[in-house]
Structure formats: C-alpha cells, structure tokens
Amino acid sequence: MRVAISQRVENVSHYHELRDCLDHQWIPFLEQIGLQVVLIPNQLKDPSAYYRDLNIKGLILSGGNDPALLEQARNVSKERDVTEAALIKTARALGHPIVGVCRGMQYLCLQLGEKLRRIEGHVAQRHTLICETGFTYPDGIEVNSYHNWALTELSPKSPFQRMAQTKDNSIEAIKHRTDPIYGIMWHPEREKYYSEHDLNFFKNIFIHD
C-alpha cells in the first residue's frame, strides 16, 4: 500500500533556504510494516491532484512546526498548513485512512473544530498512558512526548473519541467516530527500538489483508 507523509519546514538560515524535511527513522518504520512511502512537498501548486495522481491510499501527518492557527505559535509554516488542509480534505473525500502524529494530531483537531491549549512538562519527557477500553495499546504503557500544545478536553459535539490520556488530562490519542481518522501525540519513529504496539497500530490502519 502506498501512503503519503507530510513534512516539516525548516529555515536553514546560513544557506538562506527553506527546506522540507522528515526524520530518516520514518522510512524504515513504515517499510517494516510493508508500506510504500511518498513524501509530500510543501510548495505544490495542487496537493490534491498530486495525491490523487500518485495512487496514494492513505495519509500520515508528521510532527514539527506549530499550526499557524494557534496564538503564540512558534516555528510556523503557512505553506505546510495549506498543503495539509488540502491533503486532509482529499483523503477524507476518498475514504482513505489518516493518522496524525504530534503536530499532525493537533492540526487534525484544529481542522475539525477542536481547541488546543499550551501545556508544560511535555517536551523531551516520557509518561504513562491511561487507555480507554478498546484501544490497541495496553493501559499503563509509557510513551515519549515532545509537544507544547495539547488537547485537554473534547467539545460537546466533537467528532472524536478519546482513546488515551495522561494523568494531567492531556489527550494523547483520538479516533474519529465515523471516519478512519486517528491521532497520537507521541513519536513512534523516535524510539531507539520500534515498539510492536506502534507497528501494529499503523499496520491495523493501513494494511488490509
């Protein structure tokens, strides 16, 4: 199965360049579960057409960059926001699965009507998840954390279900009530050894036997 993955934008000032980039660890992680990976540039004239033309069947929104919609956002890329908004719209229209990781989950939440708040103590940390019944991860599992913004409550008419949270009420995993859309706030690609729970989570979403 061929999946698209979005990229962060970095300002490389000493070269006077803006660069799209992705952690190298994403590729072996996704190849390990049998996925072909297409990296999405952030300067496309028509991201929707690009997605459709390459016969892509799923979408991963990666980490990095704050969404520009947030007050006090840092290291933003409006080009990335525009690209990801188009990709989300297209993948949803086609009924394709979508997974947002860290910033990717944040952006999904903002696009679908949720609000985020700034949070302390979630950068370069590890914490324990409190998991809902039916989530594919065991209750009490430990994950990494690299984010300054959190979803701490769902709106009354939220399209999402809470699947895991931390003891300080940061919602760490969500799934859409009707569509194949998921979000996690940790980075599976940053683990020294890939977690079987993370591999199985992505495999169950994208690989259909």
Rounded CA separation 34/54 (Å): 18
- Measured over the CA atoms of residue 79, residue 82, residue 83 and residue 84, the dihedral's sign is positive
pLDDT computed for residue 121 by the predictor = 66
- The three-state DSSP-derived secondary structure of the chain is CEEEECCEEEEEHHHCEEEEECCCCHHHHHHHCCCEEEECCCCCCCHHHHHHHCCCCEEEECCCCECCCCCCCCCECHHHHHHHHHHHHHHHHCCCCEEEECHHHHHHHHHCCCCCEECCCCEEEEEECEECCCCCCCCCCEEEEECCEEECCCCCCCCEEEEEECCCCCEEEEEECCCCEEEECCCHHHCCCCCHHHHHHHHHHHCCC
Backbone angles phi, psi at 79, to 5 degrees: -65, -40
Q: Is the pLDDT of residue 145 over 60?
A: yes
Q: Is the pLDDT of residue 73 over 90?
A: no
Q: Is the pLDDT of residue 209 over 80?
A: no
Q: Which CATH architecture has domain 2-118+173-206?
A: 3-Layer(aba) Sandwich (3.40)
Mean pLDDT value across residues 139-168: 94
Task: Using pLDDT thresholds of 50, 70 and 90, give the confidence band for residue 112.
Answer: very high
* Domain extent listing, the chain: 2-118+173-206
The CA-to-CA distance between both ends of the chain, in Å, stands at: 11
pLDDT computed for residue 120 by the predictor = 73
Task: Using pLDDT thresholds of 50, 70 and 90, give the confidence band for residue 74.
Answer: confident
pTM for the model stands at 0.96
Count of Cβ atoms closer than 10 Å to residue 138 Cβ: 9
Mean pLDDT value across residues 36-40: 98
pLDDT computed for residue 69 by the predictor = 86
pLDDT tens, 76-109?
999 999 999 999 999 999 999 999 999 999 999 9
Rounded CA separation 66/32 (Å): 29
